[in-house]
Chains A and B, each alone.
Chain A
């Protein structure tokens, strides 16, 4: 009797074991080389040099969630499978996770967004809006607002004026260093360099108006750019390190300049007053003329509350045009594009001469502008709905960061024969939509 029960148990267990073995054994296998080799590169200590994009800035601010999904952080996590070491970043603490503050989409009614600042859990340490200091080793060296020209700031004052830079410096360093000095001596084995956007964007974001005494609104001279960029590369490759550089996206490919369009403004004006004939702008030369679809209006104009206001309706009459600082007029667009092309040709030729990988984000963002389908997600440069750009219309969403990180990874793998695994972009979100009506 006992024997019989034992036997039954034995048979039952055998069946269960067989079933488990069968299920495990019959799993389909897919063999690929991903994650097996660093190729000719050494990823043991990777540093990321750059600006706001590198830091993880998004939605008009630098905050923890954005920092955690900055493209260098996503790349570094994947490098771990091919010999990559730890990657440290100047994260805000959980208590101050909203960092500089940022904006959130709080309502979307009939396609009209309401964008509201997030003001809790900020990391400001004083009324002058200095940020809580971060000390300790960092490898994500991205600083919002950093430019190629200001990396070499001879006055050393930008280290005090830029709160994101100031935050990373000791009191003794503030006002006494520049970014070029800051990024050196870090014993890196691999680097990424995505810098130069602000050398033209700073100018464009101000409607191509340079503010006297504000070096962040200057357009960097083309020859100067090339020479300084070369200095950066020389420093970063001083120990024979390998790395990757990225080209600068066409600033006119971002939602910031393609959301508030002249035809949309005119249609809105006509809806109220069918007699409206044209939108009037003041160009960079001071001339006033009717705007065309080739003139680009900055994104914040939509919530500035100016359009159509006043006894002489703003923007709808030659006597009260949209002022030049709101507009990248078509001649300014041509000028800005020309500078971007020049910077990119410098970046590519310098990188090529150094044997470095190139992430051609210029070309990639132009594809995004027309729309691409990736892993079942349609991504384009539409504001809010495009999925790639955050609510400031300039910086990337987590999904956008993942997409760009793959552009870097592909370029690194191609150049160095490495097999850094790519990132599953579907794990990363686009803009968060409010769940209220």
Chain B
């Protein structure tokens, strides 16, 4: 008769992907143009931006680059006078590309290794949203072997197979207090894999205006046997068993892009990209645990994402044979609806600004640098599930550099 059942102490562990986790950093030249360039056969990064354009590249090449990214997010609870900031942590999105094909032939092979999704957010263990999230480290590394074929002198098609290696580490506080008053803590850690494809069409008209249509498929990444650790007082340990594991599915969305390239002169070209990011695949997040957590094997959390989109305009200007200058602007619409914004992806519509520079000292070597800036609009939200109520504001800074060898 004395038995008092432990009621539900906490809601499901959360895991959200937003525009905030789509990392638009896949090639220094394109980054310098705000991410536009699917309709330009600029360089080996076309393996990502448009496999159909790869066959139009004049040279074979390999390149490697990195874009250390600083995601600076701030939060202020509604009614509070305290602004809390994420810790300064540098995420390292990177890209590696290789393109090769016999000079006289109409086909080229490509390989891309890049990080189209990811997130590194550490709010610390004692901030006011700690029961929603303390930190998240998410990496998705895509490996993409690609074949590109020139159908005519004006039309190229290409396609690549995508293998995704995903890693996630998600932590948050649990509102169960130890005798010294501190909160419990949970860490979910896992790796997974998923498959998809990337295909593109490149058309270069007689007037030299070029068009692109590219579709990158969704990649459902399956996490099997991730570890679920709960640091809780021993008296409630039976509700949060030790040595627990989880399975989860993480749908990374498909993106369809339309691109236009417009040469303004011999040395200057404009690029415009419109992308439709099909986040509607992300309706809920479900964790299946090997052992019951707080009385249940399953936690399901609604996400209800809608599709997102972005518009990017960039310019590439060859100041001399050796020097190229680039700039870009863009705007992206968030897929996260009101009531579903979380500290993992404090997402909102955003402005994009970028600049870039390229230097080609010899016909074989090329170095490119870029600076990418995103201003994510301030967004006041009350999360429907957690009740986390406040305003998020985020700025993203990503300088980058790459080295290329061509032959």
Contacts and interface: CB of A to CB of B under 8 A. Distances in A.
Interface in B112-129: 126, 128-129
A35 B387 contact: no
Contacts of B273: none
Interface stretch (A90-98, A281-289, A376-384): A376-384
A429 B174 CA distance: 11
Contact of B132 (A29, A110, A376): A376
A267 B382 CA distance: 40
Nearest to B181: A429
Contacts of B11: 373, 378
Contacts of A125: none
B4 A383 contact: yes
A383 B6 CA distance: 9
A424 interface: yes
Contacts of B235: 105, 107-109, 433-437
A355 interface: no
Interface string B200-242: 0000000000000000000000000000000011111110000
Which residue, of A81, A268, A376, A436, has the highest number of chain B Cβ atoms within 10 A? A376
A167 B191 CA distance: 62
Contacts of B76: 30, 32
B176 interface: yes
B1 A424 contact: no
A375 B77 contact: yes
A303 B2 contact: yes
Interface residues of A, number: 60
Which residue, of B2, B132, B179, B388, has the highest number of chain A Cβ atoms within 10 A? B2
* Size range of the chain B interface in the assembly: 35 or more
Contact of A430 (B81, B173, B177, B387): B177
A435 B126 CA distance: 21
Which residue, of B80, B83, B85, has the highest number of chain A Cβ atoms within 10 A? B80
Which residue, of B181, B238, B387, B393, has the highest number of chain A Cβ atoms within 10 A? B387
Given A376-B129, A426-B130, A437-B234, A307 B1 contact: yes
B78 A422 contact: yes
B397 interface: yes
A193 interface: no
B248 interface: no
Which residue, of B1, B6, B173, has the highest number of chain A Cβ atoms within 10 A? B1
Interface of B: 1-11, 70, 72-83, 85, 88, 126, 128-132, 172-173, 175-179, 181, 183, 232-238, 378, 385-389, 391, 393-395, 397
Interface of A: 23, 26-30, 32, 34-35, 81, 105, 107-113, 259, 264-265, 267-269, 302-303, 307-308, 372-378, 380, 382-387, 406, 409-410, 413, 421-422, 424, 426-427, 429-437
29 contacts: A26-B70, A26-B397, A27-B395, A28-B85, A28-B395, A29-B393, A30-B75, A34-B79, A34-B80, A81-B81, A109-B235, A111-B4, A111-B6, A302-B1, A308-B1, A373-B11, A375-B386, A375-B389, A376-B172, A376-B387, A378-B10, A385-B4, A421-B82, A422-B78, A424-B128, A426-B130, A432-B181, A435-B234, A435-B235
